[in-house]
Structure 1
Amino acid sequence: MAHWTLDDIPWDSFDPSRIDPELVPVIKAAALTEHNSGHYSKYLCNVFRDDPVFCDQAETWAEEETRHGAALGRWAELADPTFDFATTFDRFAREYVIDTEVAGSIRGSRSGEMVARCIVETGTSSFYSALRDATDEPVLKAICHRIAGDEFRHFKLFYSTLKRYLERENLSRRRRLLVALSRMQESEDDELAFAYHCANTPDRPYSRAASGRAYAARAFRHYRIGHIDRSSAMVMKAAGLSPHGRVGRLFAGALWRYLRFRLWRLEGEVPAATNDGGGRSQAA
């Protein structure tokens, strides 16, 4: 049973005067990646092909992620009436393809796969929490609040599955930490960059570097230290380390400093949204 549907969103409260133009390009890109989650459920069900309970859960997870994309896409169309979510998503899904026909996890084990999934949900729960706290637009705030809650539940799903598989797979804390750090490095991979390009600069040649920088500059600025502290605790938990121990505190501090440094570098490189495709309407 769905925790919420598109009908639960207070669409009538949409207030274009309270839109942050710098958020519109980010939401467009996020809508595409969220809506594309069906491919990842196919991948997970191949990795866990003999675990029907988890495969059912993975399919429910994908349905919820797809709903996230639909909600964000509908909001983006309100914010920018020139944005056609369905057409843009069709192009994105057609040109960004992942290999779902696999014999095993690219992380080396099922436990490793669940660590990686925990890291993804950590990133998305903190991202939508940050956007919820940053925006004054009532509909976007309501959407991000619901998505953030879903993403935290998804973390708990993957973490409980991780614990179940750790009972049969000998994955050390060191290996869990390495998988977690590796997946964090992949957070700025080609998927988000290409989604940003498809949603905002489709008439220009695709540059992974430029699109990635444009997305990161607009997304990173909304994080506050509380969002990072919570993210750090979730990463430590997935890695099998104490979130409140010395390593956890050092990691949280390092993550916050890295984020601020990256933002400082990015802010000098990325033009305003009105110059990169986010400004094709009065809202963007």
Structure 2
Amino acid sequence: MLNKNGHWSPDDIAWEQFDPSRVDSDILAVIRAASLVERNSADYVAYLKRVISDDPEFRAAAEQWGHEEHQHGIVLGRWAEMADPDFDFETAFRRFTEGYRIPVDAEASVRGSRAGEMVARCVVEAGTSSFYAALRDATEEPVLKDICNRISKDEIRHYRMFQDYFQRYQEREHLGRPRRAWIAATRFLEAEDDELSFAYYCANMPPEEAYDRSEAGRAYARTALGCYRRDHLGKAVKLILKAAGLPPHGRLGDLAFQATWLFLKVRTRGQLAA
């Protein structure tokens, strides 16, 4: 059932259909990490409300977005605990937040403008939508498949929300296409920053084991990247090009997709070899 904001709740998940025989241990490890990142939305809400402090409508939208992202984490964490009773979601989340924080005290967007911030958020939502679509199609466990499908659709809706606010701020800031493209490209490459690696470590490795960013990043990427198919990546590339102000179709779109697909395949082979 959808609530007044058009969003579902954990009660809508058919938890009784959980099938432990269809849990893939590698996908489970990735889900444990993803649950921590999704749950950590409060810091991102605080950051967005701080750098866009005089737009009440956006602040309310950011609050709702954060609530939905937080719920994604809770639902993924619940599923992970069902799949692995030894996994303690709350303990892992505390480890994660004690060791990883974003700059919530920033006075202005790290992207240089409000419109630039919205471009970066669109890139994130495009990437996460494709990520959960890939996991949805990779898993055979029915409850996780439903959860990932719901989250993937949420992220597309979030993309559209940030795109709408980009249009609002763009009317005043007139962010040039080269700058938009630069922000989109740099935010895409930031997908390999410390956040996911550290989340994977906190969710899957004991506290007494020292954190090795490269090792944790490789372990995460081996499974996460391997789930992608061409259609998953193709949709993400089109959305990112649109956020960058570039035509998502035609020759440029094809070249961008081929380059990104090649990058993904090289990265996947590299992680498997490692």
Compute the TM-score of the two structures, normalised by the length of structure 1: 0.93
Considering Cα pairs closer than 8 Å and 6+ residues apart, tell me whether 1 or 2 has the greater RCO. 1
Q: 1 CA distance for matches of 2:19 and 2:213? A: 33
Q: Which residue of 1 aligns with 2:52?
A: 48
Q: 2 CA distance for matches of 1:174 and 1:21? A: 42
Q: Which residue of 1 aligns with 2:249?
A: 244
Task: Indicate which of 230, 235, 240 corresponds to 2:235.
Answer: 230
| 1:102 maps to 2:109 | no
Q: Which residue of 2 aligns with 1:64?
A: 68
Structural RMSD (CA): 0.8
Q: Which residue of 2 aligns with 1:75?
A: 79
Q: Any gaps of 5 or more consecutive residues in structure 2?
A: none
Q: 2 CA distance for matches of 1:88 and 1:19? A: 20
Task: Indicate which of 19, 25, 44 corresponds to 1:21.
Answer: 25
Q: 1 CA distance for matches of 2:41 and 2:250? A: 34
| 1:183 maps to 2:187 | yes
1:13-39 per-position Cα deviation (integer Å, ceiling 9, x unaligned): 000111111101100000000000110
Query: Identical aligned pairs, as a percentage?
Result: 53
Q: Which residue of 2 aligns with 1:192?
A: 196
Q: Which residue of 2 aligns with 1:122?
A: 126
Q: 2 CA distance for matches of 1:165 and 1:248? A: 26
| 1:266 maps to 2:271 | yes
Which structure features the higher share of helix residues? 2
Q: 2 CA distance for matches of 1:4 and 1:40? A: 21
Report deviation, 1:67. Answer: 0.2
Match of 1:242, SS state, is coil
Q: Any gaps of 5 or more consecutive residues in structure 1?
A: 270-284
Q: 2 CA distance for matches of 1:245 and 1:166? A: 25
Q: 2 CA distance for matches of 1:31 and 1:136? A: 19
Q: Which residue of 2 aligns with 1:168?
A: 172
Report deviation, 1:239. Answer: 0.5
| Moved segments of 4+, more than 3 Å | none
Report deviation, 1:137. Answer: 0.2
Match of 1:184, SS state, is helix
1:98-146 per-position Cα deviation (integer Å, ceiling 9, x unaligned): 2211211000011110000000001100000011111110000010011
1:161 maps to a residue whose letter is Y
| 1:151 maps to 2:138 | no
Q: Which residue of 1 aligns with 2:215?
A: 210
Q: 1 CA distance for matches of 2:73 and 2:11? A: 14
2:42 maps to a residue whose letter is G
Q: Which residue of 2 aligns with 1:279?
A: none
Q: Which residue of 1 aligns with 2:42?
A: 38
Q: Which residue of 2 aligns with 1:273?
A: none
| 1:256 maps to 2:261 | yes
Q: 2 CA distance for matches of 1:246 and 1:187? A: 25
Report deviation, 1:245. Answer: 2.4
Task: Indicate which of 127, 141, 145 corresponds to 2:145.
Answer: 141
Task: Indicate which of 108, 112, 115 corresponds to 1:111.
Answer: 115
Q: 2 CA distance for matches of 1:76 and 1:59? A: 26
Equivalent pairs, count: 269
1:44-77 per-position Cα deviation (integer Å, ceiling 9, x unaligned): 0011100010000001000000000000000000
2:257 maps to a residue whose letter is A
Compute the TM-score of the two structures, normalised by the length of structure 2: 0.97
